[in-house]
Amino acid sequence: MTIENSNEKHEIRVQPIENGTVIDHITAGQALNVLKIIGKPGTSEGIMSVLINAPSSHGKKDVIKIEGREINAQEFDKIALIAPNATINIIRNFKVASKKQVQIPEHIEGVVKCVNPNCITNSNEPIKSNFTVNNENRYVFLRCDYCERIISENIADNLL
């Protein structure tokens, strides 16, 4: 099986997939964090393969291929927070049916837990966490709408 529309044929180290999603250009080292988002038990039955530190035109990248599942908009937003350069390729019948660059959302609700233990969103109240996303040249940081605490480096550790 060759992949017609790939200019990186020789780099494919995993079986081509018939239907599913390829998340490409993940910031090197972030693949396992992306897996935390898309790999929640019960969300996919198919094979997932992960490439870490794959060579790319701008240094290294991680790539994830998911068989039999097209990922959804909510997952898109989360991925954007930790891998702002990722592209999402939907594969249908072995071909790239659509390709989208992730979009960093301006605001997220119920996606990340506030790191401030004394924040009202971390108590027994009927509210979701809410963050305003700041994106300075793809340096992403979050500011809690309730307590204003900033999360920058460890966003992945605080995904809900």
Ligand X SMILES: Nc1ncnc2c1ncn2[C@@H]1O[C@H](COP(=O)(O)OP(=O)(O)O)[C@@H](O)[C@H]1O
Which residues contribute to the site for other proteins (CB under 8 A)? Answer: 116, 118-121, 123-127, 144-150
Residue-level length of the chain: 160
Which residue lies nearer to ligand X by CB, 65 or 78?
65
Please, what sign has the CA dihedral across residues 25, 30, 32, 38?
negative
Q: Name the token pair of 18.
A: 């018939």
Q: How far is the CB of 80 from other proteins (least distance, A)?
A: 22
Q: How far is the CB of 121 from other proteins (least distance, A)?
A: 7
Picked from Zn ion, other proteins, ligand X, none, the partner binding residue 3 (CB below 5 to 8 A depending on kind) is: ligand X
6 scored as a contact of ligand X (CB under 6 A)? yes
Picked from other proteins, ligand X, Zn ion, none, the partner binding residue 120 (CB below 5 to 8 A depending on kind) is: other proteins
Rounded to whole angstroms, how far apart are CA atoms 154 and 130?
16
By CB atoms closer than 10 A (0-12, 13-18, 19+), residue 34 is buried
| C-alpha 62, offset from chain centre | 11
68 scored as a contact of ligand X (CB under 6 A)? no
5 scored as a contact of ligand X (CB under 6 A)? yes
Which residue lies nearer to ligand X by CB, 40 or 99?
99
65 scored as a contact of ligand X (CB under 6 A)? yes
Q: Name the token pair of 11.
A: 């780099």
Q: Which stretch binds ligand X (CB under 6 A): 9-17, 32-40, 76-84, 108-116?
A: 9-17
| C-alpha 129, offset from chain centre | 19
Q: Is 4 helix (H, G, I), strand (E, B) or coil?
A: coil
